[in-house]
Structure 1
Amino acid sequence: MEKIALLTDSACDIDEETINKYNINILSFRIIYRSGEYIDKVEITPKEVYDNMKVEIPKSSLPSMEDMEMVYKRLEEENYTHVIAIVISSGLSGTYNALKIVSEKHKNLTTYIYDSKSTSVGEGIILKECGKLIEQGRNFQQIVDTIPKIKSNMHFFFVFGTLEYARKGGRIGKIPGTIGEILDIKPIVYFDDSYGVCCTYDKVRGRKRSLNKMVDIGKKFLDKNQCEVYIVHGNAEEDADRVHNMILQLPNIENIHMIGQISPIVGVYSGPGTVGICYFTM
């Protein structure tokens, strides 16, 4: 009989209830300062990272292969037979390739690693839906076959407070930077499905308009389908609340999930002021 484990990295953002309910295993990134390094979401919180960014912008490193080995050994000891791993975009991190190397050493576990070509709730929603399918009794292959459909139903957009951190971290992808920032042009950003890097969906002038535009974009999904909506932010709770209140006025909202702070591993590059909205069509 199949026993399926769910695995992800700490760039994933989803609520603790979901993590506990579906026993999601998390591989932790490291947040690195000149004074030392910290385990993401264990030894340092998103708020601490954002608050300290004016003093020092940390670096990050992917989960160690030793940590991956330890998780796989534990899953074998717990008599799991299969692993479904949903990981941060390979366009942002080497986690996908490292985990693939480790998983191939563990022949007793049949592993499927899915490159989310995204991050944050872009990973979390897929994991949550996989957890539901396991709970419903679907087998490994049925769940694996369903993941691309789950992915296609997610529409994730976000706005940075500033492009400074993405530019310094080299993770700005295909977003035009300096000129637009001088003119207060705020790009609405999404992840490209081919390469998993940040691209510009639209551009507006000013912070308030950019947040309003993300809500307007959602209308084209909500006009046709019921949606669950997920909202994340980087030390921008007030703006996240404002977006939440605007979305409440729209039709076909199944649920709105206020996930809270974006993972520090994402926050290192997105910076404070980031607000993200994911429309998940039902």
Structure 2
Amino acid sequence: MQKIALITDSSCDLSESTLDKYNIKMLPFRVIFNNREYLDRINITSNELFSALENEIPTTSLPDIEYSSKLIENLIYENYTHAIILTVSSNSSGCFNSIRLLCEHYPELQYHIFDTKTIGYPVGEITTQVGNLIRNNNNFEYIVNKLEDIRLRTHGFVTFPSLKYLKAGGRIGRVAGAIAETLNLKPIISSDEDGFLYSYAKARGRKQSILKLKQILFSYVDKSKCKVTVLNGAANQEAEALLNDVKDHPNITEISLETIGACTAVHTGPGTIGLCIFEER
């Protein structure tokens, strides 16, 4: 009989209650300051991170190998036979390859590592969809065959006041050429089919960028039923206003407000607001 573990990394930005609900095991990224280091979601919160950003922009690094090894060893001890591991885009992080190399040391566990080709809460949405399949007693092979379809139906978009955090983290990539901060142009960032961040759209000023997010959302929900998550990175009032503004659309089957985690916040900074859209079928 199969006993399937579900694992993701802390870029997923899932709440503790959601992790518990779906029995999701989480590998924490490291958040590194000049004189101290934290494990994301273990001993640093997003609020603590936002406060610390006033003095220093840290870096992020791969999940701790010792922590990850113990997690997998515990799964084997608990008689798990299979594991589905969902990671942040391999073109944004080395997490995918790191976990792949680690799992090779545990041949007693049959595993599938899936590159979500996205970043932040969309990783979490894909993970919860897999969690639903596990809870409904689908087998390992069936779930693995569903992963790409789930990925293609999951979309993420974020906007933020400044590019300085994206620049500091080396994630600026294809966004740079499309944005001129001197013109007060604000990017709406997404991930492309290869998992690279890019400028999906841009707007002049903060209000217009949030309006653009709303228009992007309606481009999906006007066509089909969707589960929607509004993402909040120290932008409480604006995130709540966006949720209240769209929540009554008849094709939104479920809507919630979630906090952007510390690992993601390192690269987006305070004032980040976003959307995760899952197209239901």
Secondary structure of residue in 2 paired with 1:144: helix
- Determine if the alignment matches structure 1 residue 267 to structure 2 residue 265: yes
Structure 1 residues 149 and 24 mapped into 2: Cα distance closer, same or farther (>3 Å)?
A: same
* Counterpart position of 1:149: 149
- Determine if the alignment matches structure 1 residue 213 to structure 2 residue 196: no
Secondary structure of residue in 1 paired with 2:181: helix
- Determine if the alignment matches structure 1 residue 225 to structure 2 residue 263: no
Work out the number of aligned pairs and report it.
Answer: 280
Structure 1: 5+ residue stretches without partners: none
Give, in whole Å, the separation in 2 of the partners of 1:139 and 1:218. 33
- Determine if the alignment matches structure 1 residue 122 to structure 2 residue 122: yes
Give, in whole Å, the separation in 1 of the partners of 2:261 and 2:153. 23
1:38-88 deviations in Å (ceiling 9; x for gaps) = 111121110111122121111121112222211111111000000001111
* Counterpart position of 1:90: 90
* Counterpart position of 1:182: 182
* Counterpart position of 1:46: 46
Give, in whole Å, the separation in 2 of the partners of 1:24 and 1:36. 28
1:93-148 deviations in Å (ceiling 9; x for gaps) = 11110100011111111111111111221111111111111111100010011111
Give, in whole Å, the separation in 1 of the partners of 2:221 and 2:179. 34
Give, in whole Å, the separation in 2 of the partners of 1:60 and 1:148. 27
Structure 1 residues 198 and 10 mapped into 2: Cα distance closer, same or farther (>3 Å)?
A: same
Structure 1 residues 28 and 202 mapped into 2: Cα distance closer, same or farther (>3 Å)?
A: same
Q: Which residue identity lines up with residue 262 of structure 2 in the other structure?
A: P
- Determine if the alignment matches structure 1 residue 72 to structure 2 residue 72: yes
Q: Which residue identity lines up with residue 230 of structure 1 in the other structure?
A: T
Q: Which residue identity lines up with residue 141 of structure 1 in the other structure?
A: E
Give, in whole Å, the separation in 1 of the partners of 2:232 and 2:172. 18
Counting aligned pairs with the same residue, the percent is 39
1:242, distance to aligned residue in structure 2 (A) = 1.5
Range with bigger deviation, 178-187 or 226-235: 178-187
- 8 Å contact kept, 1:12–1:122: yes
- 8 Å contact kept, 1:163–1:177: no
Q: Which residue identity lines up with residue 268 of structure 1 in the other structure?
A: V
Secondary structure of residue in 2 paired with 1:174: helix
Structure 2: 5+ residue stretches without partners: none
* Counterpart position of 1:236: 235
1:271, distance to aligned residue in structure 2 (A) = 0.9
- Determine if the alignment matches structure 1 residue 18 to structure 2 residue 22: no
1:126-179 deviations in Å (ceiling 9; x for gaps) = 111111111111000100111111111112111022101101211112112696
- 8 Å contact kept, 1:167–1:177: no
Q: Which residue identity lines up with residue 252 of structure 1 in the other structure?
A: N
- Determine if the alignment matches structure 1 residue 204 to structure 2 residue 198: no
Structure 1 residues 179 and 247 mapped into 2: Cα distance closer, same or farther (>3 Å)?
A: closer
Give, in whole Å, the separation in 2 of the partners of 1:159 and 1:177. 16
Structure 1 residues 69 and 211 mapped into 2: Cα distance closer, same or farther (>3 Å)?
A: same
Give, in whole Å, the separation in 1 of the partners of 2:179 and 2:69. 45
Q: Which residue identity lines up with residue 255 of structure 1 in the other structure?
A: E
Secondary structure of residue in 2 paired with 1:134: helix
- In the superposition, the TM-score normalised over structure 1's length comes to 0.96
* Counterpart position of 1:255: 254
Give, in whole Å, the separation in 2 of the partners of 1:200 and 1:119. 14
- 8 Å contact kept, 2:228–2:277: yes
- In the superposition, the TM-score normalised over structure 2's length comes to 0.96
1:13, distance to aligned residue in structure 2 (A) = 1.3
- 8 Å contact kept, 2:230–2:273: yes
- Determine if the alignment matches structure 1 residue 58 to structure 2 residue 58: yes
Secondary structure of residue in 2 paired with 1:35: coil
